[in-house]
Amino acid sequence: MENSKLAKTKQPAYHFASLVEVDKEYLIDGCNIWNFYWQCTDRNIEVVGPFEGQRYHFKEYEIRTAAKSILFVAGEFSNGKIGIYLKDDLSDGKL
């Protein structure tokens, strides 16, 4: 039983998708992320930055439409750009 307490919950795999500017259209699964409220899931996800491979802890967000729910990770880099990270199933061309 102690081993089960020590076991870590596996986080979903997120990969870098894009750098975006605030309010500039960016589509995930056909939805412009700026047209929806981003509900924070309170999960910090470790991701690798697109520049030097530095590790970051960014928040996971969810947007909901009438037909679906979309999870993604987003965080602001020092250059003011927003890094978007998608789960493996969305980053494999299923956008």
In 10 A of CB 12, how many CB atoms? 13
> Which pLDDT score is estimated for 8?
46
pLDDT, one tens digit per residue, over 16-42 is 999 999 889 999 999 999 999 999 999
Q: In what helix (H) or strand (E) does residue 67 lie, and over which residues does it extend?
A: none
Q: Does residue 12 register a pLDDT over 70?
A: no
Q: What is the separation of C-alpha 72 from the centre of its chain, rounded to a whole number of angstroms?
A: 3
Q: Does residue 2 register a pLDDT over 80?
A: no
> Which pLDDT score is estimated for 65?
92
Domain residue spans of the chain = 11-91
**Distance from C-alpha of 83 to C-alpha of 74, rounded to nearest angstrom:** 6
**CA end-to-end span of the chain, whole Å?**
41
Percent of the chain with pLDDT over 70: 80
pLDDT, one tens digit per residue, over 43-77 is 999 999 988 889 999 999 999 999 999 999 999 98
Q: Does residue 10 register a pLDDT over 60?
A: no
